[in-house]
Structure 1
Amino acid sequence: MRYIRYTLIAIICFCTTTHAQEKWDLRKIVDYAVTNNISIKQADVQAAITGLTLKQSKLGLFPTANFNGSTSYNNGRNQDPTSFNLITQSYINAGFQLQTSAEIFNWFSKKNTILSNQWQYEADKASVDKLKNDISLTVANDYLQILLSREQENIAQVQLKQTQAQLSNTRKLVNAGSLPELNASELEAQEAVDSATYINAKGNVAQATLVLKSVINMDAAAPFDLAVPSVEQIPIEKIADLQPDAVYVMAVKNLPQQRVNIFKLKAAQKAKEVARAGMYPTFSAFGGLSSNFINTKNSIFAPAGTYSSSPLSPQIEVGGTIYKVNSPDYSIIGKKGTAFLRQIDNNFRQQIGLGMSVPIFSGGQLRTNYERSKLNIKNAELQQEADNQTIKQDIYQAYNAATVALEKFNASRKSVTASQRTLDFAQKRYEVGMLGTFELITQQNNLFRAKLQDVLNQYDFVFKMKVLEFYKGQGIKL
């Protein structure tokens, strides 16, 4: 009973594992690549950094505000920060300041900075889309390469089985004395060649799979069961609907690279306005609140009960005699400081004003920045023109390549049909002894090569058509 239970558990685990290994079609592979490709992640990070720059430039429209607080111990001859008198004693000082400033007019420098950063942010996001498209195209190419390698593997396997079947039949005839040993030896040699071809084809499938895993950033040891659609089921637009002129017009509108160039050009134009504004005066408003506290103590005086005069005492004249007026004497009976809050209130100061900053001479830096910004615009325009020319050239080359691939595919189909018909006749002649083994093997090899070339031409045609569809901005569809 225990062994039966373990057997059932093993069967359930095997079924669960088999079900968990879902097949990977092209859409799933592309989605995985877009999510995990390192280059795309880096582009996303760069776009996020540009987004933070845009956010910061928008916040720059608001006034700035800063609060400063400080305290210090002072000794020796210093200036009283509250009364501004010179004193010679130790004291502790505390000061507080709240300052704010705002630009009133700066020739739209901040506004254009925001717009420049906005267009740069859009350009970086479009760059991410371009990279995703490039990765998708690469993944589609590698995916089709795996399908091609598998077709070649299947053809090689069929060829090997046919040779083995012929060898088995020929060996029987040789043993019966109907055919010489040479016929069997020739087929054995052909079997060895077909086995090597089949093994090489299997290795090509494994190699193509590893290449695809590398592109999508998947562990080489991870399980990977590829969904293999028939090449005849892959949807392809009619080549008549993919004329290069029409494809180019749609490419300029839809491809991310063209959007990148447009956004970068707009960002450069706004950056020029920012550089020009830097050469003009800037007007701003500012204000501030501040107060101070000092822990020094003032002396407290009280009458001493005595009177005395000094050279500065007032005088009176009585009967021609001048008398000095005595004043009461005072003595220090203690010291008392002013409370913290009262000092803060008594020393409270306010400030408000207008400011103007006029750039007079900066070593040519401002003018150089302006001239550089104009050259950046010119460079962006040239880059846009160069990319448009490149994409147009690529589209025409892709259209020509697709046309040639279609003609080669049609020709290879005819070659397969003719080679199959020739092999059928050769097989009948071989069975009645009118054809040698070497000639039969030659016809088999001709058909094998024709089938391989046909599969190669078919996948080559499909991929070149997919490239044309990609230039229309429709992505990759398989």
Structure 2
Amino acid sequence: MKNRKQMMMTVLASLFLLQGVLAQDHLSIDLQGAKEHALQFNRSIRSSELSVRQSQEQLKQAIAAGLPQVNATTDYNNSLGAEISIQFEENMPASQIPIDPTSSFNLQVGQLIFSANYWVGLHTAKLYRNLSEKNLERTERDIVSQVVNSYYLVLVAGESLQILESNVENLEAVYEKTKPMVEFGMTEKVELDQLSVQLNSLKNAVKSAGRQYEMAQNMLRLQLGVSSETELELTETLTQILNSNEFDSMQASAFVPDQNIDFQLMSVQEQMQEKQVDMQKANYLPTVSGYYSFTQKILKPAFDMTPNHMIGLQMNIPIFSSGERRSKVRQAKIELETVQNERALLEDQLDIQYKQLSFNLRSALDNFENQSRNIEVSREVYENLQRKFNQGLISSLELTSADNNYLKAESDYLQAALEVLQARNELKTLLGEIK
């Protein structure tokens, strides 16, 4: 029974291992899944998370500096048979007192009672932890935004590659239909040669589009935190994304600077600079600390006056620094004013950026609607001319000219779609609605 159970555990472990290998070799994912995968496995986010953990430990270190500090020491002294010579009267011989070995144990407890620098430093450490968390949030926002853009690029590159491959097939069909017409003298050979040149150019375009598609996939793999050998399958199509109803709501969104992560970071930096001013002012105040000491002699000398218990207080009072402290306070205030000025500047820049991105999105939507109409017209023209070509009413060059126009319309449509998606992504990133 036990062996059977062990065998079952081994089989299950193998299945889990096989599942992990398959998951690493193939990744089927939609846009939301890509965002979540990047948040979990992206290495830049991992580094920011480690910075947050480090700031938490630094806060614990700052707190511990104001808590009791306990130190213990022990020692052993041996004078190797040396003696102390004491002569009480001039005419009397000196008395020789041997120096016995000594050993002692000392336990000392120290406690900071008052220090303005400690409390200011504690608040600064909390702000630094908050700053690290905000940096992590900004890193997550930037990575998610990059993943969204890369997802769009892969979809558009894939669509473009499929369109080019379809055009190659159509042009090859036209080429094959034109060859017998040349052989029977119904069409000039120069027309076939022109078709051959266009076909070769289109095949080169397919190769270039294939390389661009692979580059877009590699960029997405890097941002997702998967290996370069992982096969990506994007389950959400470009049409599904374009048919979403987020565009109208994006136009109605209002921009609030406090909701922007860059503005929040600048606000935390301003608070930290305020604490720097308080830190310099705290140098004018005294520092008070106390201690308790316990000493136990393990090997006592013949004459011992060391007490076992002792307590004490120490106060450090700054009196005169020739204006050094005052200059440091003024410098900290100047730096605070600089940060406040940069914060106001950032607020103005973000407001202008919001208006510009909103304008870009509206313009991209208008262009996308125009290109959508153009591609419908180009498709109708091409299909009409293709029917005429099949009936022998037009030449192959007229059909390929219409095919080139249709191909350009497809390319312009995809570019317009990409511009709409990228403009929406940039606006959502600014508004903090990217996740």
Question: TM-score higher than 0.5 here?
Answer: yes
Out of 409, 421, 430, the position equivalent to 1:471 is: 430
Out of 91, 97, 100, the position equivalent to 2:106 is: 97
Out of 273, 276, 291, the position equivalent to 1:268 is: 273
| Contact 1:123–1:261 (8 Å) recurs in 2 | no
Q: For residues 66-121 of structure 1, give each alpha carbon's deviation from its aligned partner in whole angstroms, at most 9, with x where no partner exists.
A: 222211112435699xxxxx965342111222222333333x43233222211110
Corresponding residue number in structure 2 for 1:422: 381
The structure with the largest alpha-carbon Rg is: 1
Corresponding residue number in structure 1 for 2:291: 286
Unaligned 5+ segments in structure 2 are 1-17, 87-94
- SS of structure 2 residue aligned to 1:91: coil
Out of 247, 270, 280, the position equivalent to 2:254 is: 247
- SS of structure 1 residue aligned to 2:66: coil
Q: 1 CA distance for matches of 2:269 and 2:96?
A: 63
Matched, 1:112 2:116: no
Corresponding residue number in structure 2 for 1:334: none
Corresponding residue number in structure 2 for 1:328: none
| Contact 2:24–2:230 (8 Å) recurs in 1 | no
What is the TM-score of this pair, normalised by structure 2? Answer: 0.83
Corresponding residue number in structure 1 for 2:166: 158
In the TM superposition, structure 1's runs of 4+ consecutive aligned residues that sit over 6 Å from their partners are none
CA RMSD after TM alignment: 3.1
| Contact 2:174–2:396 (8 Å) recurs in 1 | no
- SS of structure 2 residue aligned to 1:94: strand
Out of 380, 385, 388, the position equivalent to 2:347 is: 388
* Matching residue's letter, 1:92: P
Q: 2 CA distance for matches of 1:376 and 1:48?
A: 28
- SS of structure 2 residue aligned to 1:356: strand
Q: 2 CA distance for matches of 1:436 and 1:206?
A: 37
Corresponding residue number in structure 1 for 2:206: 198
Please show how residues 40-439 of structure 1 align to structure 2 within 5 Å: 40-75=45-80, 76-77=82-83, 88-106=97-115, 108-234=116-242, 235-239=244-248, 241-243=250-252, 246-249=253-256, 252-294=257-299, 348-362=307-321, 365-439=324-398
What is the TM-score of this pair, normalised by structure 1? Answer: 0.76
Q: 2 CA distance for matches of 1:415 and 1:219?
A: 40
| Contact 2:294–2:308 (8 Å) recurs in 1 | yes
Shift of 1:55: 0.9
* Matching residue's letter, 2:290: A
Out of 440, 453, 459, the position equivalent to 2:399 is: 440
Shift of 1:192: 1.8
Out of 381, 392, 416, the position equivalent to 1:457 is: 416
Q: 1 CA distance for matches of 2:297 and 2:23?
A: 78
Q: 2 CA distance for matches of 1:236 and 1:77?
A: 98
Corresponding residue number in structure 1 for 2:40: 35
Unaligned 5+ segments in structure 1 are 1-12, 81-85, 299-342
**Closer, same or farther in 2 for the Cα pair 1:38/1:368, shift >3 Å?**
farther
| Contact 1:100–1:287 (8 Å) recurs in 2 | yes
| Contact 1:143–1:212 (8 Å) recurs in 2 | yes
Q: 1 CA distance for matches of 2:310 and 2:201?
A: 96
Aligned length: 407
